[in-house]
Each structure stands twice: as C-alpha cells, then as structure tokens.
Structure 1
Amino acid sequence: MRIGLVVDSACDLPRDFLEREQVEVLPITVRIGDAVQVDHRDEAQTLAFLESHIAERGANAETIPYTPEQIRDLFLERLVVEYDYVFCMTITGSRSPIFANAQKASYMILNDYKQPRAAAGNTTPFALRVIDTQNLFCAQGILPVEAARLRAAGEPALRIRTRLEELANHTYGYLVPRDLYYIRNRARAKGDRSVSLFSAALGTALDIKPVLRGHRGDTGPVAKIKGFEPAVEKMFDFAARRVRAGLLTPTVTLCYGGHLDGMRALPGYTRLLDACTEQNVEVFESVMSTTGMVNVGRGAVVVGFAAPEHRFD
C-alpha cells in the first residue's frame, strides 16, 4: 500500500526531511498590507521575510489557509492517484481552521476519487484520515516524523492511524517568546484578549518571560522567569530531563524565529543535544514558519516531544 503524508506549512520541520519523505505541504498565505507571501516551508524565503521591513508590521498580518475546495483539488489532481492511503496532519483545530477545512475536504474527496483513480488505471479504494495534532509549531512535527518512521518500517495504515491518534494526546510543545508586546498586539489583531496590555507592559518592564505550553489543543503559561535566556535555558534543561526520563517517540523537534545559529548559541541548547545523543533521540531543527513568526514574533524558541503526563519544573 502506498501511504502518503500531508502537513500544513505551519508545521516546523526541516525542508530536507519534508523532501526526503515526500511530505506534501498545504501552503498558508500571509498578507501584510499589500504584501503577500505564500508559505511553502522555504527557510530562505522565511528569513528574507524576517529581515525585511514587512516583519515590523507582522502583528497585523492576515493568514489565509487552503480552503476545503483547494484541498479537494490538490487531492483529486494528484494525491488520490499517487497514494492509496493519505494521512493529513494539521495544526491544532483550536487555533486554526485548517483542520476543519481538511475535514470538509475529506468528504468531498472520498465522494469523488474514483474517476481520477480509474483514469490512471487504478480501481482499488482510496482512504484518507485527517488528524488534529492538537499542537503548534515544531510540536506539530512529532506526528509526521513518527508516521514516516512507521511507514518505512512497513507498518499497515491502521496501525499508523492508531499510533498517530494516540500520540496527538501525548505531544507537548513548550515556547518562550522574546517580545510580549508583539504577542499582545498580535492577539488583539486576531480578537484574542488573553494577553492584556497590563500583563505585557509589566512583563516587559520587569523582563519577565513566560514559558508557554501547548497540549491537547490548549495553550497557556506554565512558568514565568526573569530574562529571556534564563527562561530558554530552563526550558531546554527541562526538555533534557524529559528525554532522560523516557519519551514516547525517539524524537525532539526545535524551531526558532530567526537564523538557527541564534538558537544554537542559547544556554542549555548543548545540554539538550547531549541528552538526546545519549538516549538515541533524533533532533529536528528548523526555522519557524512565516505563519508562526507572524503569530509569536521574532526570536521565539519552541521545543516539542511526546511524553507521559508530567509537570513543568
């Protein structure tokens, strides 16, 4: 059985992994004023965006995901012919309409796939499963990495589906933002009042940085630490302890809102990599997507992994 994998461009994984594993990317369009950029997970393009004057107005950006009709067309034109079973793994449905759009598209695809498959000489059934990863940024990448690993091992589609749905409930993403004002302004632009002006001003004045956790579709602070670098170091050291305690997949994902050398110079980074090496855990590093950066700003750091239930300490 030919198994295909699809993610959206908010999924922070290295381009070489996506190309090697032939992972299809649903692009997200970012519009800032008159400037429009289609996010195809091109790191050079993302960095050029970051360094341009456009990034200064990113808090007011509009992000436009593929519609159900665009997703349907992509599948019917190519994917239903190239594959027999496709897993579409999306950013958490609590923060984006992509999951809902893919779900709607799946009904249309399953109704209409027979003709294009027959025209290609294939009369066997086609199957599709849309999975809400329940997470964001590089934490979203835990599922497609595991899917690729299971596919390479020859696991059947049903086994892969069960495993991915289980992992979605046990995937954690931890983020330290650099600029609370940016997050507050971005939240307000999207109609989200969860970050108040007072909180942003107080945090900036005192140089207090939150550690935010994404898990099962929810996001919120789990710690507040003075200073960006100390907050990142605490997050990295915590992740290293989780690695040594035992993960549910041999994978840690990292992403950064800027050049990766900036992340690699942060305190705690080397200790986290050492822990991963000791435990035979593979590390995937990527520049944060354009979509991600317009939502949390430059310089944010995220680490993702799947693990048993735990508390941040």
Structure 2
Amino acid sequence: EFGTIVRTKVDDMYQQHTKIKRDTQTKSIGLVTDSTCDLPSEMIKKYNIQVVPIVIQVGEESYLDQVEIKPKDFCHLLQTSNKKMLTSQPTPASFKEVYDKVIAKYESIISLHISEKLSGTIQGARVAAKSTKYSDKIHIIDSKTSSAALGLLVVKAAQLIQKGLGLEEIIDRLKIAADNVKIFISIPTLKYLMRSGRLNKTKGFLGTLLNLKPIITVNSDGYMLEAAKVIGQKRVVHKTLDLAIKFAKSVKNPRFGITHVAAPK
C-alpha cells in the first residue's frame, strides 16, 4: 500500500519538519540544508539538521518534498501517472522561515546546498539571507554536488560542529571536502528522463532499443555529466561500483553513502 497524499494541516507538518530540537547545551553554529541531501530522518534528528524542502510538481499540483509527499508516494505517482513531474527550488520565504528559527537559538548558521549548476536552490538561500537583519551570520556554501554526496558533506559539517571547531575552520574544511566528493548514479530506464525533457526522445528510444544504461556523475564544477555507458542492468551496477571503488582508493579515509529509488535491495 502506498500512502495517500493529504494537503490538510500543511503548516503544522512543516513546523514539525523544521522544529529546532531543544538542547540542554546551547551551540554556536546551526546547520541548514535542503531535501536533496537524501539523509534518513534518523540522521537528521541525531545531528539536529534543519532541512528546507524542495518543491515537487505533479501536473498542476505542487508538494513539499518529505513534508507533503514521501519518496514512496512520488515513485507510485511516477509509475502510475502520465502527468509531467518536475522539481523546483524552495522559495526565499521558506529559507527565511527556517533561518529565523535557527538564529533564535544559534549564533551563526552554515547553510549547505545542492550545486548551483543543478538547481536555483542556493540562490533562494542567498536572497533569503540578504533579506534578514543577521545576513552576516549566515554562511552559504555551494556543495557542488547533490544527493548522497551532499548528505555526506552535511554530516561532516554536523560532526565538525559537535567537535567544537571554529566557524572559519569548519567552512574551510567543508570547501576542501566539496572538492573531494563524488557521486555516481546508475539509470535503469531512460523513460523518465525522456518524460521530463532531460533526454531527447530520439536518443532515448535508441538507447532503450540498445538497452543502454548511463551512469551519471557531477564534476568538480558542479555540472552533471555522463561518467560511463554500458549495456544491461547487471553491467551498470558493476560498473557503478567499479567507478566508486576507484575513486575511493584515490582519497584518504573515504566515506560513502548509498541511496536508491524504490530499490531497497
């Protein structure tokens, strides 16, 4: 059974989603990110990370990611509906609402987001920050990546904050880490890339006919590009792992994360 998307009491849901945990010890740095980080809710709660949801558009309807619509609901709609589905960045007002709550408890804010080459999310954060009276206390960082790679950077930021490092040192370390993180995404079907308009239909049909499976990555400048292309689902899984292992061997003390779309096994 897939859940029913309900639009009632959205304000209450959003307030619960962005609620600042009451700590017995006040910390000096608050941490904000967006829902493209793909972190599990347990980790978000553990590190008291404030997440601004992106907007998912399904036809004429729009939903706040992880607040009004969950991944399983989105996947169900993707498989059963012919409506066009897109994502859009959070509004500056959404960022400001979160910033206001965080700054009431913390002395400064680190706001770490999806690559600005992939989304306008970080621009919304910048607009919101400039509109506040405490803009000098908000430090916005372009992760130059997305999904699990962004999530790893967010967790690193949270751990550095917990260790008590200074603001400038944390920011410097995060920028270095952003230059040394990599994501590899295996695409099992080209159908949804064609539907969204991200892939030319002629190329998509040809790729489907040949059973081609692309592997997508994000380069050091934050742009998405093709890392490899193989034939068949088994080969694409193995190739994705090979690319990840090769990269992991090139960095010191590697960390990794695995995300999926309706494929828990």
Structure-2-length-normalised TM-score: 0.81
1:218 and 2:223 matched: yes
Compute the displacement of 1:131 (Å).
Answer: 0.7
1:135 and 2:145 matched: yes
Equivalent residue for 1:175? 185
Equivalent residue for 2:209? 205
How much is the aligned-residue C-alpha RMSD, in angstroms?
Answer: 2.3
* Among candidates 184, 194, 214, match of residue 194 of structure 2: 184
Equivalent residue for 1:30? 56
Equivalent residue for 2:28? 2
Letter in 2 for 1:83: Y
Q: Does the 8 Å CA contact 2:30/2:103 hold for their aligned counterparts?
A: no
Mark the runs of 5 or more structure 1 residues left unpaired by the alignment: 115-125, 262-313
3-state SS of paired residue (2:112) = strand
Identity of aligned residues (%): 24
1:68 and 2:83 matched: no
Q: In the aligned structure 1, how far is the partner of 2:32 from the partner of 2:98?
A: 11
Mark the runs of 5 or more structure 2 residues left unpaired by the alignment: 1-26
Structure with higher helix content = 1
Equivalent residue for 2:235? 230
Equivalent residue for 1:49? 74
Q: In the aligned structure 1, how far is the partner of 2:202 from the partner of 2:78?
A: 27
Q: In the aligned structure 2, how far is the partner of 1:96 from the partner of 1:38?
A: 16
3-state SS of paired residue (2:97) = helix
1:165 and 2:159 matched: no
Compute the displacement of 1:41 (Å).
Answer: 6.9
Letter in 2 for 1:255: T
Structure with higher strand content = 1
Once the two structures are superposed, what CA deviation does each residue of 1:53-83 show, in whole Å capped at 9, x if it has no partner? 454447712423322233123222x111111
Q: In the aligned structure 2, how far is the partner of 1:99 from the partner of 1:41?
A: 20
Query: How many residues are aligned here?
Result: 238
Once the two structures are superposed, what CA deviation does each residue of 1:248-275 show, in whole Å capped at 9, x if it has no partner? 55420111111422xxxxxxxxxxxxxx
Poorly superposed stretches of 4+, deviation over 6 Å: none
Q: In the aligned structure 2, how far is the partner of 1:84 from the partner of 1:64?
A: 30
Q: In the aligned structure 1, how far is the partner of 2:149 from the partner of 2:226?
A: 16
Compute the displacement of 1:160 (Å).
Answer: 0.5
Q: In the aligned structure 2, how far is the partner of 1:198 from the partner of 1:252?
A: 35
Structure-1-length-normalised TM-score: 0.70
1:147 and 2:173 matched: no
